[in-house]
Copies of this chain bind each other. A is one copy, B any other.
Amino acid sequence: MPVESRPRRVTSVDVAREAGVSRTTVSYVLNATPHQKIPDGTRQRVLDAAARLGYAPSAAARALQSGRSDVVLYLLPDWPVGPAVTHTLVRLSTALAAHGYTLLAYPRAAGRPVADVWRSIEPAAVVSWEDLDPADVAAMRAAGVLVAVALLRGPGTAEGSLEVSQQRIGRMQAEHLAAAGHRRLGYADPDDPRVRGFAEPRLDGVRAACADLGLDEPVVRTVPPDTATAADAVRAWREAGVTAVCAYNDDVALAVLAGARAAGVDVPGGLAVVGVDDVPAAALAAPPLTTVTTDQEGIAEHIAALVVAGLDGTPPPPRLTSDVVRLVRRASA
């Protein structure tokens, strides 16, 4: 429903005139400015006038005047995000709203530079999965962004916690399989080069766990979402003596399952499989998929706390406890 012909903005001047007061008073009333005692009569008149006129303060003017924005920008990666991430988005939005910040997500298209967005909006903070490149960081600072949080691969301290989580995911997969007696694991890497940032730390976690537990190095294969290729991978693993596979995520794990089916390999008898994410399809797969899941609520809460701390100058939240990652035990491993 295209809405036509904006009839000229209602400004605080209009409200002031309608209420028979000055703009100052309007501002005081509408912002509930402390230490400014406005008599209830006047107050009510202003409120009524504003409501009658449908007054909405100009975000641009407010931002310009205050020199401060309450927008937190979330850079949506251009690679496919699971349902978990979109859920996190809503949680994060809620958590930030509780502190007076508004979360806005920017879907970065592959080619375009992030910097484009500073032209349209000046966020107070930016949340990104990957580190931004130095030029973008410079542009960001110039645009007045106060806080940036990178969720992955950051060499810093606080933001490193999610990086650790990624490794813990891999560790947990491997530890579960080792506990079930598997000595030689496979790792099913995703096809999509864009998710390297996630796949690598997870694989690192698997490697580390194998080393710690005295298992062989994991045998890595790339598994596209294609049954025939996955079947090849399954056969190759079997020939290499692999009895269990950690998959990058549930989608890849489902491909492994399909491959095993095609190759006539029983799961978990011939090959055990562990995924990551616990997507809805995981529980419904044949066999139901054992998978590692993360506490998205906790993560969202934590990111929010990180951002708010940076913005409000309050102390940063404690490192995320390691139990944000959890194993969901089903039939596949």
Contact indicator B90/A109 (Cβ below 8 Å): yes
- Copies of this chain in its oligomeric complex: 2
Contact indicator B254/A281 (Cβ below 8 Å): yes
A35: Cβ under 8 A from any B Cβ:
no
Point out the residues of chain B lying under 8 angstroms from A108, CB to CB.
90, 93
Contact indicator B63/A60 (Cβ below 8 Å): yes
Known: A60-B63, A60-B69, A142-B54. A107 touches B118 (CB 8 A): no
A236: Cβ under 8 A from any B Cβ:
no
A225: Cβ under 8 A from any B Cβ:
yes
Contact indicator A55/B9 (Cβ below 8 Å): no
Contact indicator B107/A93 (Cβ below 8 Å): yes
Known: A86-B80, A122-B58. A283 touches B93 (CB 8 A): no
Contact indicator B1/A146 (Cβ below 8 Å): no
Interface residues of A in 245-290 (CB under 8 A from B): 250-251, 254-255, 257-258, 261, 279-281, 283-286, 288
A227: Cβ under 8 A from any B Cβ:
yes
Contact indicator B107/A89 (Cβ below 8 Å): yes
Nearest chain B CB to A62 CB, angstrom units = 8
Point out the residues of chain B lying under 8 angstroms from A258, CB to CB.
283-286
Question: Residue of B at shortest CB range from A227?
Answer: B284
Contact indicator A286/B284 (Cβ below 8 Å): no
Interface residues of A in 67-114 (CB under 8 A from B): 67, 69-71, 76, 78, 80-83, 86-87, 89-90, 92-94, 97, 102-110, 112
Known: A61-B64, A225-B284. A2 touches B147 (CB 8 A): yes
A46: Cβ under 8 A from any B Cβ:
no
The complex places the Cα of A326 from the Cα of B60 at a distance, in Å, of 44
Point out the residues of chain B lying under 8 angstroms from A1, CB to CB.
148-150, 154, 156, 159
> What 8 A-B pairs have minimum CB-CB distances, sorted nearest first?
A60-B63, A102-B120, A258-B284, A60-B64, A105-B105, A94-B109, A281-B281, A54-B142
Task: Apart from A56-B143, A60-B64, A105-B107, list 19 A-B contacts with CB within 8 A.
Answer: A1-B156, A3-B145, A3-B146, A54-B142, A56-B144, A59-B63, A59-B118, A59-B121, A60-B69, A64-B64, A70-B119, A82-B83, A86-B86, A90-B108, A104-B121, A105-B105, A230-B284, A254-B285, A258-B284
